[in-house]
Amino acid sequence: MPTEQIVTRYIVDELLPGGGTASVAPDTSLISTGILDSIALLKLILFLEEQFHVKVGDREVIPGNFETVERIVSFVDAKERVSG
């Protein structure tokens, strides 16, 4: 399954009210819409580290890396290339 689908499914199933009945577009701002608050961000980071075997450093936890699904996918892909 492509990274975008994995990340989107996690966000929909675990972070959105209504679970599988909701949706999120790849370019939707997860921060300004309130989908990603501090607790949800921590959960997402743990998921990304476990799912994709990457390590997210403290300095990488910035809005630019987690603003949208597209940015999360780019971030994960870059981390995988470096560690891979």
Over residues 7-53, the pLDDT tens digits come to 999 999 999 877 666 789 999 999 999 999 999 999 999 999 999 99
Give the Cα separation of 79 and 84 in Å (integer): 8
- Determine the pLDDT at residue 27: 97
CA separation, residue 17 to residues 10, 45, 53, 66 (Å): 12, 19, 27, 19
Containing domain of residue 16, as a range? 3-83
Domain harbouring 76, CATH code? 1.10.1200.10
Domains of the chain: total: 1
pTM, to two decimals: 0.92
